[in-house]
Amino acid sequence: MIGKKRWLKRIIRNGRTLIMPVDHGVTKVEQGLENVDELIRTVEDYVDAVVLHKGLAKNSKILEEVEVGLIVHLSASTYLSRDPNDKRIISDIESALKLGADAVSVHVNIGSETEGRQLEELGKICDRGDEYGIPVLAMIYPRGKVEQNLETVKQAARVGYELGADIVKVPYVEKFSEVVRYCKVPVVIAGGSKGDEIELLRKVETAIKEGATGVAVGRNIFSNPSPRDIARALYSIIHEGMSAEEVIENERNLALGRWR
C-alpha cells in the first residue's frame, strides 16, 4: 500500500515520532487548549503530528500551512457521562480524508464494560483504513475493572496489532520491551497526566531504548508554561538521540524552561 506508506512518513520520520494529541477538550475542557492554532504554531518545529477532533481541524486557519501531520480522532466521550470509558465513534474515514488527514485515530478501553463494541468498531475502521490506504492509530488503554500493568498493556498492544492498526499507542510500563516484542507495528507511549518534566524525559528515553517508536504527549506539552521548550526537549531525545540528562543540562544552560 504505497499511499499508506507515504502517509505514515508524514507521522513517523526516520523511524521515530513525536505526536501531540489535543483531542482532550471533548472529554474535559483543559487549560492550554484555548487556542489550538497558536499552540501548533508554537511547537511546529518539533512535533511530527497532531491529533485533533474534526471540528478543530475544520476550523483551523493554519493546518494547510504547517508541516505537521494531521491525525483526525474518531472517538469521543465526556467526563460527564455515566461511563466515560464508553468511547463512541463520532466520525468516519471519509470525513477525515476531506479534512486532509494523514491518518485517523480510535480510542479503545479494554476491560471496560463496552470493550466488545469498541473492538468491533476498531476492527471495521482498520478495514476501511486498508481500503482507503490511510493509516490507523489505535489508542488502547486497560481501563475499568482491570489493572494497568505489564500484562494488560502487552495485551492492549497486541489487540491493536491483531485488529489491523498501523500504529498503537499504550501507557508506559516497566519492561516495555516485552510490550514491543508482542506488537509488530510501531508502538508509541502515552504521555499521561500532567507531571514532572524531568521524570517525563527520563521515561521517554527509557521507552525509546526499549523499542518504542516514539511518544504521544498531550497535557505535558499543552499544559506546560512553555510548550515549545518541552517539545524541543522531547524532540532532542526522540529524533537526535540525546539522553534525558544531556537535554536537561542543555535547557539549564539556555535558561529556558523550568528544569531544576
- Residues marked active site are found at 23, 141, 169
Distance, CA of 209 to CA of 48 (rounded, Å):
20
Nearest one of 41, 24, 38 to 220, comparing CA atoms: 24
Query: Which phi and psi (to 5°) does residue 37 adopt?
Result: -60, -45
What are the Cα distances from residue 227, in Å, to 55, 75, 82, 220, 231? 22, 25, 33, 8, 6
Distance, CA of 87 to CA of 104 (rounded, Å):
15
Find the DSSP H helices in 99-196: 115-132, 150-162, 176-181
Count of CA atoms in the C-beta half-sphere (13 A) of 198:
10
Quick one: cell of 188?
Answer: 508509541
Find the DSSP H helices in 44-114: 54-59, 93-98
For cell 518534566, name the residue. Answer: 197
Burial tier of 73 (Cβ tally within 10 Å: 0-12, 13-18, 19+):
buried
